[in-house]
Amino acid sequence: MRIAVVGVTGLVGAVMCRSLEERNFPVSEFLPVASARSVGKEVRFRGENYKVIGMEEALAAQPDVAIFSAGGGASLEWAPRFAEVGTVVIDNSSAWRMDPDKKLVVPEVNAELLTKEDRIIANPNCSTIQMVMALAPLHKAYKIRRLVVSTYQSFTGTGMKAVKQYQLERKGYVPKSEEMAYHYPIFENCLPHCDVFLDNAYTKEEMKLVNETRKILGDNSIGVTATAVRVPVHGGHSEAVNVEFERPYELEDVRRHLEAMPGLVVLDDIANNKYPMPLFAKDRDEVFVGRIRRDESIKNGLNLWVVADNLRKGAATNAIQIAEYLLEHKIISSKELAT
Written as one letter, the residue type at 289 is: V
Question: What is the rounded CA–CA span in Å between residue 332 and residue 111?
Answer: 14
Please say whether the dihedral angle defined by the alpha carbons of residues 238, 242, 248 and 250, taken in this order, is positive or negative.
Answer: positive
Describe the strand order of the beta sheet including 144-154 as a list of residue ranges. Answer: 223-231, 144-154, 237-245, 301-308, 287-295, 264-266
Nearest 5°: phi and psi at 309? Answer: -75, 115
194 is annotated as an active-site residue: no
d(Cα 93, Cα 204) in Å, to the nearest integer?
A: 13
Catalytic pick among 17, 139, 237, 257: 237
3-state class (DSSP) for residue 88: strand
The torsion angles phi and psi of 170, rounded to 5 degrees, stand at: -65, -30
How many Å apart are CA 67 and CA 120, to the nearest integer?
Answer: 10
Helix 251-259 vs helix 126-142: crossing angle, to nearest 10 = 130
Distance CA 265, CA 337 (A): 38
Indicate which residue of 17, 126, 194, 257 is catalytic. 126
Q: Would residue 17 show up in a list of annotated catalytic residues for this protein?
A: no
Active site residues: 126, 237
